Homo-oligomer: A and B are copies of this chain.
Amino acid sequence: MHKLLLLAALFPAPAFAQAGSNATVTPYQAVDPMIGTGGEGHTYPGATAPFGMVQLSPDTDASCEIRECYGHAAGYRYDDPTIQGFSHTHFSGAGHSDLGDVLVMPQAGDTVQMDAGDPKQPGSGYRSRFSHDSETAAPGYYAVTLADSGIRAELTAGTRVGVHRYTFPAGKAAHLLIDLRTSLYNYPGKILWSGLHMHADGTLTGFRETRGWAPGRKLYFAMRFSKPLKSHAFVDRDENVKYRGFQGPGRGSDELAEKLGRALEARLDFGKVDGPLEVRVALSGVDEAGAIANLDAEAGSFDQVRAATQTAWQKALGAVEIDAPAPMRTNIYTALYHTLLAPSVWSDADGRYRGPDDQVHQAKDFTFRSTFSLWDTFRAEHPLLTLIQPEKTNSDIVNSLLASQKYSPQGILPVWQFAGRETWTMIGYHAVPVIADAYMKGIRGFDADAALDAMVASATYAPYGGLGDYMRLGYVPIDKEPEAASKTVEYAYDDWTIARMARAMGKDAIADRFEKRAGYWRNSFDTKSGWLRARKSDGDFRTPFDPAAINYGSDYTEGNAWQYSWFVPQDQAGLFRILGGDAKTIAKLDAMFDYDLSGVDYSHAEDIAGLIGQYIHGNEPSHHVAYLYDYAGAPWRTQERLAQIVDSQYKPTPDGLAGNDDLGQMSAWLVFTALGFYPVAPGSNQYVIGRPFVDHAAINLPNGKRFEITVDGLSPANRYIGSVTLNGKPLARTWLTDAEIRSGGELHFTMQATPNKQWGTAKSARPFSMSGTLQR
């Protein structure tokens, strides 16, 4: 009985039997990791476990110069003709580059190439040509044939372990080259220090310290082989060393026990081997002993690790069941896959981790996770995880944020953190809404008092991003701080989530204080022109002003007034009153989407992709905007815009993502939107209804309940909602509460070809706004 219950908990119900043509394709099979590896999606096709520390993936070019590196942020670029090697760390969809640690390249035959060669000259160096025809990519598994050597390369990964399996051409000697010189976004001086150690038992360990996006990042590894090592060489390719100290043992021989330097390579020789060579590699942010312990903690052959990870993926992907036409189903399951990669595990198997102070700490009763792209992921990625992942995952995330604050040199929550280190990328203090959203949804696996303290500390740390002036003036002044307009509105929203949580905890003084700050967005809003604008210390708005200019004087963050003037998730009604009411608001939203881009060139700007007029789906500030018609009483316009966005911005092809996936945010947007609702204001516990893009779906909730979305009559023509029922009763409003979803039930949509201009239009039907006529 118990056993049966356990099995039921481990393996979610199978996908709907009633589904159509794709019923035999499992969620696992529906994922295509190649989606996003072209264009500027910046995803990687390699092997990883859910939230795994190791992302073992091919790098087609790790030698790029800074300008070209953006396109190689994930190491692999679909259009590239060669693979340089297989490295163990990658971001999924980041807009900035780093990682690509511990590159391994197998080589066959009598000579071993020690340099990668020129990416523009396939056939040079150790890089190899390859064909996409030889590639297989699935969650936790990647395979390719290296055409130049004929080596079959397969990759899989557990949580802290990556496993390579190389099948060498018969009769040829097997070698591995480990290149510690390569890195994504590489440039002279990036590698501060590195080391290689050959242990008596044949274990290879090493480390690298890099000055990259995260300065002074330390990564350790341990590597073991399924075949005995015949010989090895450790070499330092650094010509530019003024003083090397004294030579250690091994004079005249490279078969050293240890080599330290800034340009190290290891050549490993196995001779002719019978059958494939398996290479198990564990990472650690703590030390080499930690990497060895992580390697021991996840035992198993390539096939065993692959099977365990496949099971883990099936379980994780089983949280959402989808019945939809195959391309859409592939898009959604791939999106779901992408939402389950970060924040990834960073603590060792024994709970030790390296924190933002570069010191080693012990995680007690939680797994420390890092890779927090919070400016992106507070919007939909984290709210989605609260519905599809166990409470433990979400508590771990909060506990990781709190530990990071505790050990932050500045005493504040992470902004953009990976490998436990702060990078100071993007703006805001968006760990705050992540924590508030979790708390408001009843997640309690953390110390709420400590959390609120950490949130307040982050919102009041004067040296950060103009916060001192923000607190003094009520806005961030552009003459003191770049991107001041964006900062002002994002701080105000973050502040509102502090107020929400404080109020719920009965801490009214804090709630009052931050509720006041939640209105500071008004201080940077030009009520005359109807635009959010950057204001100077003297109170004047900065001139000249052009709402369509991007990066013009950096008033805004990766965008312009068109996108940022809509960012008041906590008070869209207040904004709409300033804009002159519903009609004028709708007209302005339409003007945004229908903006004529002829003659406009934004190619100089970062992360501007996926343009529908001035609506820029490839970047986050626009992500909630299509849902705003709901707030103005015109939900059928939201329904139209969503069709427009989904049809144009997501395709089941390598270049199928309109912009960087941003650690799951682009994908989480699709998962939510396809299900029919979206968290416009995390912290509000409201999901704003758009329209479904599935025939049938279910969320297997972390509490064991099930929330079904059933849809009648969905087709390309039937893009409008006719009616909605929740648990069989008509639903007049355009939003759902988190409690309604979390208690399980059925949301039923009836679709039709014409707009239903009665449904959801009443004032009482509109979603939360803190100064709205209907506040909740």
What residues on B are CB-neighbors of A481 within 8 Å? 251
A422 within 8 Å of B (CB atoms):
yes
**CB atoms of B360 and A360 under 8 A apart:** yes
Cβ contact within 8 Å between A193 and B216: yes
Q: Do A243 and B190 contact each other (CB < 8 Å), given the known contacts A215-B260, A250-B463, A463-B250?
A: yes
| Nearest neighbor of A410 in chain B, beta-carbon distance | B257
B260 x A216 contact (CB < 8 A) = yes
A227 part of interface (Cβ distance < 8 Å): no
**How would residues 360 to 396 of chain A score, 1 for a CB under 8 Å from any chain B CB and 0 otherwise?**
1000000000000000000000000000000000000
B409–A189 touching, CB < 8 Å: no
Looking at A205-213, A331-339, A675-683, the stretch in contact with chain B turns out to be: A205-213
Among residues of B, the one whose C-beta sits closest to the C-beta of A467 is: B249
Chain B residues, CB < 8 A from A214: 245
Q: Select the residue from A185, A187, A245 with max chain B CB neighbours within 10 A.
A: A245
In the assembled complex, the Cα of A185 lies from the Cα of B243 at a distance in Å of: 10
Which of B255, B461, B480 interacts with A463 by CB under 8 Å? B255
Interface flags, A400-442, vs B, CB<8A=1, else 0:
0000000001111000000000111100000000000000000
Specify which chain B residues have a CB less than 8 angstroms from the CB of A599 in the assembled complex: none
Say whether A248 faces chain B, with CB atoms less than 8 Å apart: yes
On chain B, the residues within 8 Å of A753 by CB distance are: none
Known A246-B423, A248-B424, A249-B464; further 20 A-B contacts with Cβ < 8 A: A187-B243, A189-B240, A190-B243, A192-B193, A193-B193, A197-B409, A209-B209, A213-B245, A215-B260, A216-B260, A247-B424, A251-B465, A251-B481, A256-B463, A257-B409, A257-B411, A287-B359, A287-B360, A288-B357, A288-B359
User: Which residues of chain B are within 8 angstroms of A287 by Cβ–Cβ distance?
Assistant: 358-360
Partner of A410 from B193, B248, B480 at Cβ < 8 Å: B248
In the complex, A14 has a CB within 8 A of chain B:
no
Which B residues are in CB contact (< 8 Å) with A215? 244-245, 260
A411 to B256, CA, bound (A): 12
Interface set of A (CB-CB < 8 Å, partner B): 66, 185, 187-190, 192-193, 195, 197, 200, 207, 209, 211-216, 240-253, 255-258, 260, 287-289, 357-360, 409-412, 422-425, 461, 463-466, 480-481
Give every chain B residue within 8 A of A464 (Cβ-Cβ).
Answer: 249
Q: How far is the CB of A588 from chain B (nearest CB, A)?
A: 33
Question: What B residues does A207 contact at CB under 8 A?
Answer: 358
- Which residue of B193, B245, B251, B424 contacts A245 across the interface (Cβ within 8 Å)? B424
Q: Which residue of B lies closest to A424 (CB)?
A: B246
Is A246 touching B425 in the complex (CB atoms < 8 A)?
Answer: yes
A contacts with B: majority SS: loop
Return A419 CB to nearest CB of chain B, in Å.
13
**A242 to B288, Cβ gap below 8 A?**
no
> Do A212 and B463 touch (CB < 8 A)?
no
Q: Which residue from B195, B209, B213, B244 sits with its C-beta under 8 Å from A193?
A: B209
Q: In the complex, how many angstroms separate the beta carbon of A92 from the nearest chain B beta carbon?
A: 20
Q: Are A410 and B463 in contact (CB under 8 A)?
A: no
A258 to B212, CA, bound (A): 17
- Is B410 touching A249 in the complex (CB atoms < 8 A)? yes
- Please determine whether B258 and A409 come into contact, CB atoms closer than 8 angstroms: yes
- The docked-state distance in angstroms from the alpha carbon of A466 to that of B193 is 29
Nearest Cβ distance between residue A425 and chain B, in whole angstroms? 5
Compute how far the CA of A772 lies from the CA of B10 in the bound complex, rounded to whole angstroms: 80
Evaluate whether A190 and B245 lie within 8 angstroms (CB atoms) in the complex, with A255-B463, A260-B215, A357-B197 already known: no
Which B residue sits closest to A244, measured CB to CB? B215
Closest to A200 in B: B411
Which 10 A-B pairs rank lowest in CB-CB distance, beginning with the nearest? A258-B409, A249-B463, A246-B424, A249-B464, A187-B242, A257-B410, A250-B463, A257-B409, A287-B359, A248-B424
**A411 neighbours in B (Cβ, 8 Å):** 200, 257
Q: Are A252 and B193 in contact (CB under 8 A)?
A: no
Chain B: minimal CB distance from A16 (Å)? 47
- Provide the residues of chain B in CB contact with A251, threshold 8 Å: 463, 465-466, 481
A215 to B248, CA, bound (A): 11
Does A463 contact B253, Cβ atoms closer than 8 Å? yes
Q: How far is the CA of A298 from the CA of B695 in the complex (A)?
A: 71
User: Could you show 25 A-B contacts with beta carbons less than 8 Å apart?
Assistant: A66-B243, A185-B243, A193-B193, A193-B209, A193-B216, A195-B216, A197-B357, A197-B409, A207-B358, A211-B245, A216-B260, A245-B423, A246-B425, A248-B424, A249-B412, A249-B424, A251-B466, A255-B463, A256-B463, A257-B409, A257-B410, A257-B411, A287-B360, A288-B359, A360-B360
A172 to chain B minimum Cβ distance, whole angstroms, is 29
What is the CB-to-nearest-CB distance from A667 to chain B, in angstroms, rounded to a whole number? Answer: 25
- Across the interface, which residues of B come within 8 angstroms of A465, CB to CB? 249, 251
A659 to chain B, nearest CB (A): 20
Q: B249–A190 contact, CB under 8 A?
A: no
Chain B residues with CB below 8 A from A209, complex form:
192-193, 209
Residue of A188, A216, A253, A424 contacting most chain B CB atoms (<10 Å): A216
Bound-state Cα–Cα, A242 to B243, Å = 22
Bound CA–CA A212/B321 (angstroms): 59
Q: Is the CB of A289 within 8 A of B359?
A: yes
Query: Which B residues are in CB contact (< 8 Å) with A241?
Result: 189
* Residue in B195, B243, B422, B466 whose beta carbon sits within 8 Å of that of A358 in the complex: B195
Residues of B within 8 A of A193 (CB): 192-193, 209, 211, 216
A235 to chain B, nearest CB (A): 16
Most buried by B among A215, A253, A257: A215
Closest partner residue, chain B, to A359 (CB atom): B287
B246 touching A461, Cβ below 8 Å: no
